[in-house]
A and B are shown apart, each in its own frame.
Chain A
Amino acid sequence: MTTTSRYHSIKINKKKCIGCIHCMKGCPTRAIRIRNGKAVIQYQKCIDCGECLRLCPYDAVEPITTLQADLKRFAYKVAIPSPVLYSQFGTQTTPAEILHVLQHMGFDHVYDEARMCEMVSTAIEIYLDGHKTTRPIISSTCPVVVRLIQRLFPSLRKLIIPIEPPREMAAKNLRREISQRHKIAPEDIGIIHITPCAAKMVSINRPLSMKRSYLDGAISIHDIYNEIMMRIKKTNRSLLLDTERPVSGIGIGWTMSGGEIRGMKYHNTISVSGVLDTIRILEDVEAGKLKDIEYLECLICPEGCIGGPLTVENRFIAQSTINRLKRVYGEKKTVDVRTVHRLFKEKFFSFEHSIEPKPFPGLDADRAEAIKMLNMKENIMKKLPGKDCGACGAPDCATLAEDIALGVANLNDCVFCKGDRHDK
C-alpha cells in the first residue's frame, strides 16, 4: 500500500525500530502494522494523536516539527509559546521569566498566548449565546479532535464551534500588527507556535477550516527545553515577578483539561481528555445522548495539552504548577469584552469555511463489494483464535481478518493458525 507522510507529523525511524508491538497495540485507529520486522504507519488512517510517540520505548517514533534553523528565512521572528510552557520548569520559574528567556533565543517578539486564550474563551461564550438550538457545541482547540470528528464521526462536524483556536488567532493578529508597526511585509514575518504536540504541524500544513494557517511552523517544547532551562539557571534570579501583566489565570489554565469551561458562564459542560475517552464521549454524542450539554471540551492528550507527547515535565506536576499560577494571577477576566464583541461581529474569530467530512475509506468503494468483504472478514474471524496477540503484525484478530479480506495479509501470518496447519 502506498502511503505518504508528507502531511503527517509522525514518522518511524527504521534504524531504531525493533518491530515490537507497543505502538501498534496503542494506536486508537489501528493505523500501524509490523511489516518485515518494522512498524509501518498507514497514513490514510492516522489522526496524528501521538499515542505511538508516547508508547515507543526505543524513541523510534519521531515527531516532525519545525527546527529553529528553519526560521532563518524570515526577517522578523515571532514565538507564540503555548501556556503549557509555563508548567515545564517548576514552580519557582514565572511565565515572565520564560518569555524573557525566549526573547533572547533569537526571537524578535514573544507573545503570551494566555491573553488570546482569554479572548477566544469570551468569543466562545458569545457564540453559545447566539446559537441555543444546536447542542452540544464541541471545542475546536485540539487539532486531533477536529480530525477525529472529520474522519470517525463526520456527522458531528457541524457541532464543532466555528471559531479558530487561540494560537491561530494570536498569529493572525500579530502578523497584522507587526507588519503595520514595523513596516514589514506580512510574508517576511515568521510566526511559530511552541507546542506540546506534533499534531499542530498538521493543522498548520493542512488546515481544515481555512485556506492557509496564520502560523509558519511549530517548535517542539522538547526540542528547546534544555536551552531554556540552561538560560534560566544562568539568569540572575529574583527578576521578573510581574503580576502587573494583563493576563489572568483563565488564559494560563486554558491548556489544562477543563480549562476552556472553567471561566465560562455556562455550567452544563463536560471536559474529557485522553484519546479513548474522547472516542467514547463522541460515540455518546453520536447516539444523541448529550443534547442537554452546552459545551463539550475534548482534548486528546491525558489531562489536556500539559500531557502532550512533546512535553518534558510530568503532567501532574505540570498541573500543580499551572494551578499555582492560576491562584497568583486570579480568575478575573482581563480582556475587554466590548473589544471581543466587536471582533466577533467582524468575524475575526470565524472559520473561513466549514469542515468537510472525510470518513475513513470503507472496505471497498463499491458498496456491494464492501458487504461481501465484511462477510469474508466475519468468516475469517471464526478461524482466528481471538487472542489479539499482535504477533502477526496486526494489532488484533479483527484487524488481521480485515487485512486478509483486503488481500494484504494471509491466514499463515497468524502464529496459531500456522500451528493448526502443521498439526493436520
Chain B
Amino acid sequence: MASQKDTFQQKFKIKGGDFIKAGESSCEIRNILKGIGIDAEIIRRVAIAAYEAEMNVVMYAQHGTIHFTVNPQEIGIIVEDRGQGIVDIERAMQPGYSTATEEMREMGFGAGMGLPNIKKNSDTFTITSKVGKGTKLEIVIKLNNTK
C-alpha cells in the first residue's frame, strides 16, 4: 500500500443534468496524468472509464463526486452519486442495455455501453447501488501492466 506522501488526490463535484460542464473532470484527470508522464495507452483507458462514469452521474443522478487518486502503482477513481440508483445491476452491466430516455438517446447518449466500457477498461471494477439512494463505482487501473 502506498503511503499518503506517494499519493496525489483530487476531488471533483458533478452536477446531475449539467451537460454543459460534463466531461470537464475527466479531461482534467487526463491532463494530470499527462503531467506525471503516464503511458498514453493507460491514459486512454482512464479517459474512457472516467468520462463514462462522469456521464452516468450527469444523466441519472442529482449530484455526485469523483475521487481521483494516483500513486506509483495504480490509479483509483471512485464515483459516488446521490440519485435513483440501479434496480438490476446485472442487467445494467450487459452491453446495449440502457434506461436512458428518448431525449438522451437523441443527444447521442444511452447506447447501453457505459458500464460495460468502464469495466472493460478497468483492472478491478466494483459497483454497488441502493435504489432511491445512489450508486458507487470503484475503478482501479494498474500502472505496471498495459492491458
Contacts and interface: CB of A to CB of B under 8 A. Distances in A.
Interface in B1-38: 5-8, 23, 26-27, 30, 32, 34-38
Contacts of B32: 374
Nearest to A360: B34
B11 to A, nearest CB: 13
B40 A287 contact: no
B98 interface: no
Contacts of B41: 155
A59 interface: no
A118 to B, nearest CB: 34
Contacts of B38: 362, 367
Contacts of B27: 283, 287
Interface string A331-359: 00000000000000000000000000101
Contacts of B70: 371
Contacts of B35: 362-363, 370, 374, 402
B36 to A, nearest CB: 4
A371 B71 contact: yes
Interface stretch (B44-52, B59-67, B133-141): B44-52
A371 B36 contact: yes
A108 interface: no
A357 B8 contact: no
16 contacts: A155-B41, A286-B47, A287-B27, A287-B30, A287-B47, A292-B108, A359-B37, A362-B38, A363-B37, A367-B37, A368-B71, A371-B8, A374-B32, A374-B35, A374-B36, A378-B8
B57 to A, nearest CB: 15
Contacts of B34: 152, 359-360, 362
Given A287-B26, A371-B70, A374-B32, A357 B7 contact: no
Contacts of B43: 155
Q: A283, A357, A359, A367: which has the most chain B beta carbons within 10 Å?
A: A367
A365 interface: yes
A287 B30 CA distance: 9
B143 A367 contact: yes
A288 interface: yes
B72 interface: yes
Interface of A: 152, 154-155, 283, 286-289, 292, 357, 359-365, 367-368, 370-372, 374-375, 378, 402
A365 B37 contact: yes
Contacts of A360: 34
Contacts of A378: 8
Contacts of B23: 287, 289
A402 B48 CA distance: 27
Given A155-B40, A287-B26, A372-B6, 15 more contacts: A154-B40, A155-B47, A286-B30, A286-B47, A287-B27, A287-B51, A362-B35, A362-B37, A368-B6, A370-B37, A371-B36, A371-B70, A371-B71, A374-B8, A378-B8
Nearest to B143: A367
Contacts of A372: 5-6
A374 B70 CA distance: 11
Contacts of B7: 371
A375 B32 CA distance: 11
Nearest to B117: A288
B36 A362 contact: yes
Contacts of A283: 27, 30
A185 to B, nearest CB: 42
Contacts of A362: 34-38
A370 B36 contact: yes
Given A361-B37, A374-B35, A368 B47 contact: no
Nearest to A284: B23
Contacts of A374: 8, 32, 35-36
